[in-house]
Each structure stands twice: as structure tokens, then as C-alpha cells.
Amino acid sequence: MSTADPPLVSSRFLRSELWLIFGRRRNWAGLAVLAAVPVIMAVAVRIAAPQPGDGPDFLSNIVTNGLFVAFAAVAIELPLFLPLAVGAISGDAVAGEANLGTLRYLLPVPVRRTRLLAVKFAAISLFALAAVGLVALVGTVLGLALFGGGPLPTLSGTVLPFWSGVGRLVLVCLYLAVCLTALGAIGLFVSTLTEQPIGATIAIVMLAIVSQILDSIPQLHVIHEYLPTHYWLAFGDLMRDPIATGEVWRGVWSAVAYTAIFLGAAWARFLGRDVSS
């Protein structure tokens, strides 16, 4: 009598991986830094409110609705802090196990390798969502406490009811989680190439930074849409009324393409990796 194959991502295995991520003090410290940004921002604006035209629209609109603390915090952390957080987790996913010498004990058969890789990618995806969600949650709670809620002005000049504004914030978090998950897939691939998690993290963060620099050079417009970070700022279109979906969907498909390509590359590399030493 044949037994059914185990699921590709087992809940027990995933819980164990999530415990490794969220149970480490260094990761708690990283999350604390992410959460500190909306706190500092909200307190600073409360002490000295920006005038119209000072800084991004999200920042100058904080005094009109506390939800904008969350939007502004996400926008400020997106270029560096959020990629750094995801890069640290994805860079450590395989390289960290190899560095500690535990990888060889996790890979008794090839099928186990595919399952391990799938679990690690699922954990990276959940961490990306948790990181963005933490920034948004802290910003929302503190923003509402200091500035109140009410109707939400959009980038189109219209006003949305409060709970519709909350729904837009949820969409922003989900969209950015998808974008950062693609970066995590790239990081997972890089992590299979080395036994030094710090080196993998640096490579991933540098990739994100260089991509954003190249995206800001008009003369390189031909390659802009192929850069992994090009569509990240499209989350602003989710704050229009009605929502402008063109760039957002392009961003989703770009993230899906990067995820598929680099997960495939990670699987090909990981499946044949020598861990006997």
C-alpha cells in the first residue's frame, strides 16, 4: 500500500522556520528599528507640523488624517530599511544553515531539498508581509492617537470614507509585500551561492540600491521597466480615486516574473549543491 507524498510546505516545518526567524533577538532588533520610524515621524510632526508643500504629500497630509503616518512611514522605509530587513532574512535562509554546519543534516534526499527551499521561501514571504504590516500598524495606531481619523484625502483630490482609506492601506501593504517577496526570491538564490549570510545580505541590499539608482537616470529609460525595483513606487496609484491599476498590475507581474526566475535558479543550484564537506 503506497503512502501519499508529504505536502511541499508542511505546517510543522513552516512553524519551525518561522520560529527561527521571529525567535532571534537580532531579527527582533531589526523589526524594532522598522517600528521606530513611524514613531519618530509621528512625534516629530506633532511637535512641528510641516507646511503644505514641505516634503512628500503623504508627510504634509499627516496632520489632516493619522492614517497618513502609515503611508508616509512605508514610503520612507521602502528604499532601504524594508529591503535590508528582507535581505537579511533571505540572505540567511540557506547561507546561514551552511555557515552553522546544519545544512547537511537537513538534506538527506533530493526531495527534501525542494521541500526545504519551498518552506524557506514561504517563510520569507510571510516575513515580508509582517515587516510591511508592522510599519503600517504602528503608524496607524500612533497616527490615529495623535492626529485622529476621518475622511481620507486621495492623490486625485477626492476624499474617501475612513474605512475605505483603511482598505487602501491594506492594498498598499499587500502590494509592497509582493514586491519585497520578489526581492526575497532573489535573496534566496544568492543565499544558495555562498556560506556567508552577511555577504549575501550585502549583495541583496546593494542590488536594491543600484536598481533604484539606475531607475532614477532618465538616459537609461530603456531598461527601467526591467529593474526589480521599478514598480515599487506604483503603490501611490492605490491612493488615487479611482485606483489607477495599470502600473500596479505591471508591478505585480514583474514581481511574479522575478520570483519565478530566481526561485527556479535557486532550486537548480540547491538541488545539486554539495554539502558533504
Residue 37 counted as domain residue: yes
Residue 164 counted as domain residue: yes
Q: What percent of the chain has pLDDT over 70?
A: 84
Residue 2 counted as domain residue: no
Residue 3 counted as domain residue: no
Q: In this predicted model, which residue has the larger pLDDT, 65 or 212? A: 212
Residue 46 counted as domain residue: yes
Q: In this predicted model, which residue has the larger pLDDT, 20 or 3? A: 20
Question: Using one digit for the tens of pLDDT, what is the confidence trace for 121-149?
Answer: 999 999 999 999 999 999 999 999 998 88
Residue 267 counted as domain residue: yes
pTM of the model: 0.90
| Domains: count for the chain | 1
Residue 276 counted as domain residue: no
Question: Using one digit for the tens of pLDDT, what is the confidence trace for 23-71?
Answer: 889 999 999 999 999 999 999 888 876 655 555 566 667 878 889 999 9
Residue 4 counted as domain residue: no
Residues paired with 160 in a beta bridge: 152
Domain that holds residue 261: 11-271
**What is the pLDDT, as a whole number, of residue 136?**
97
pLDDT of 245 over the 70 cut: yes
Q: Phi then psi for 160, rounded to 5 degrees?
A: -110, 150
